Amino acid sequence: MQDGQQDGARVVGGVDTHKDLHVASVVDEHDRVLGNQCFATTRQGYRQMLQWMRSFGTLERVEVESTGTYGAGLLRHLQAAGVKVLEVTAPDKQDRRRRGKDDDIDAQNAAHAAFAGRRTVAPKTRDGMIESLRVLKACRKTAVAARRVALQLIHNTIVCAPDELRDVLRKLTRMQLIRTLAGWRPDLSDYRNVSSAYRIALKSLARRYLELHDEIADLDSMIGAIVEELAPELVARNSIGHESAAQLLLTAGDNVDRIGSEASFAALCGVSPVPASSGQVTRHRLNRGGDRAANSALHIIAIGRLRTDPRTKDYVARRIAEGHSKLEAIRCLKRYIAREVYTLLQRRNLEINRTRISA
């Protein structure tokens, strides 16, 4: 037990995370700093950090920065040890201007925020199937970008290719072009010749495109299977595809119960109206915060329903008749869709919890 500490004293921790080292700080029940210490970002380092924090007294909670990146391993370790973990949402800008910035100060600020309950949120657990979904979607995103770059390089190369190659290739459709180039058998020993060099380069790019195309198809199958297992009712709704459903699941996280209400989920997706009233003028403005990927998914669903769902068409037409623009009507529609999605996710979460309890 540290000097000046008594058995049963309640303490709160804060951690400033980095790639190789985490800096931890502990404050007591009067928000006084008790100590700072650095620990390695390894399992042994996590155990030492937790043991060090508990040496000051009863550890009530820990606030961790960047639980989705550098702090992910520490988050899993603390949650497995039964410690309540919070995530820092933003630094205290006024305190940073006054005191400056270093790792010890950042760790202390995290501990102070955890003590006061300011600028904190419940982090995603990152230990379930949605974390698997996130990793697969991140991999797919980079593969799609690489495939697009390969196709652009093919077209750019064809533009400046010798006439005998360009005239043959410029009239082909995309997949005809890719398969034609991939089927070429250029003489690899003749790479000093301009025409042969173009053939070698185009074949390499085409094969790269096809490999990425197959990789994306495999990832789509895995992502679709996870979405079907996690939220079958969600993808059964009108205009909600696997891609949009996957993004909404990622935004909610494995522990969707961390989101207190459907209004909180709407704010998280950036579709909640923000008050902008003054004096006798009462109005709301567009919410430019939240998860923009989730906002985009809701927009895609809204556009799909506007084309296929009669009730949605009637709603938008009624809004336009009241004097709203079509874009404003779509924003309102996205708010209703967020409410529908949240209800489905909460229902699914309850079913999963009942299954775990019965097991």
**pLDDT tens-digit profile of 176-218?**
999 999 999 999 999 999 999 999 999 999 999 999 999 999 9
pLDDT in tens, 111-123: 888 888 777 788 8
Mean pLDDT within 94-122? 79
Q: Which residue has the higher pLDDT, 109 or 193?
A: 193
Number of domains in the chain: 3
> What pLDDT band is residue 239 in, cutting at 50, 70 and 90?
very high
pLDDT at 8 over 70: no
> In terms of DSSP bridges, do strands 58-64 and 274-275 run parallel, antiparallel, or are they unpaired?
unpaired
Tell me, what CATH number does 98's domain have? 3.30.420.10
Q: Which helix (H) or strand (E) holds 39?
A: strand 33-40
Q: Which residue has the higher pLDDT, 354 or 10?
A: 10
Q: Which residue has the higher pLDDT, 358 or 211?
A: 211
* Residue 77 counted as domain residue: yes
* Residue 358 counted as domain residue: no
Percent of the chain past pLDDT 70, that is, above it, reads 93
> What pLDDT band is residue 173 in, cutting at 50, 70 and 90?
very high
* Residue 5 counted as domain residue: no
Q: Indicate whether 82 and 100 sit together in one domain.
A: yes
> What pLDDT band is residue 353 in, cutting at 50, 70 and 90?
low
Q: Indicate whether 146 and 195 sit together in one domain.
A: yes
In the chain, which ranges are continuous DSSP H helix? 43-54, 72-80, 93-99, 103-116, 129-159, 163-169, 174-182, 194-230, 232-236, 242-252, 262-268, 292-308, 310-321, 326-358
> What pLDDT band is residue 357 in, cutting at 50, 70 and 90?
low
Give pLDDT, residue 108.
Answer: 86
Range of the domain at 137: 129-230
pLDDT at 135 over 90: yes
Separation of alpha carbons 139 and 143, rounded Å: 6
pLDDT at 354 over 80: no
Q: Indicate whether 210 and 262 sit together in one domain.
A: no
Give pLDDT, residue 349.
Answer: 79
* Residue 359 counted as domain residue: no
* Residue 321 counted as domain residue: yes
* Residue 1 counted as domain residue: no
Q: Which helix (H) or strand (E) holds 21?
A: strand 21-27
Mean pLDDT within 288-311? 94
End position of a domain, from candidates 230, 252, 274: 230
Q: Indicate whether 48 and 135 sit together in one domain.
A: no
Separation of alpha carbons 75 and 126, rounded Å: 8
Give pLDDT, residue 2.
Answer: 46
Minimum mean pLDDT range among 52-61, 120-129, 136-145, 195-204: 120-129
Give pLDDT, residue 282.
Answer: 74
Give pLDDT, residue 4.
Answer: 45
End position of a domain, from candidates 230, 254, 272: 230
Q: Indicate whether 47 and 112 sit together in one domain.
A: yes
* Residue 352 counted as domain residue: no
Token output for 225: 């299977």
pLDDT at 1 over 70: no
Mean pLDDT within 238-256? 92
Give pLDDT, residue 81.
Answer: 92
Q: Indicate whether 172 and 98 sit together in one domain.
A: no
How high does pLDDT run on average in the chain? Answer: 89
pLDDT at 280 over 60: yes
pLDDT at 90 over 80: no
* Residue 100 counted as domain residue: yes
Separation of alpha carbons 298 and 282, rounded Å: 26
Task: Tell me if 179 sits within 8 A of 193, measured CB to CB.
Answer: no
